[in-house]
Amino acid sequence: MSGWDISSSGVEFVTSLVADAMDDVAKDVKAYGTDVESAATSAGTVSGPYCGSAPTGAIGAALAIFVEKTAGDVLFLGARAAKSVNGAREATAYYLAGDL
């Protein structure tokens, strides 16, 4: 047998690209939270004049429920990606150790 066909440097390169993409996703998730909050505030209400902070309208309430119901899915994306990257790196290490 001439050798195994996995390049640890290739795996490291690809997993580092995934890690960079995960960082970008984390930034997007933070921006998503801010943007949804801004949208909920800007949606307004169908009420008359008010004193103090604006009441939450139907759109704002719907956005809040949407975020609440999808928060677990959004958090799962990052956790799953991190486990996948770590798994690929760990499997490659075992693969290369087996080649020795």
pTM above 0.75, yes or no: no
Q: What does pLDDT average to over the chain?
A: 83
pLDDT in tens, 83-93: 999 999 999 88
Q: What is the signed CA dihedral for 69, 73, 79, 84, rounded to 10 degrees?
A: 170
Best CA proximity match to 56, nearest among 72, 31, 67:
67
Residue type, 2: S
Predicted confidence (pLDDT) per residue in 10-44, tens digit: 989 999 999 899 988 888 888 888 888 888 877 76
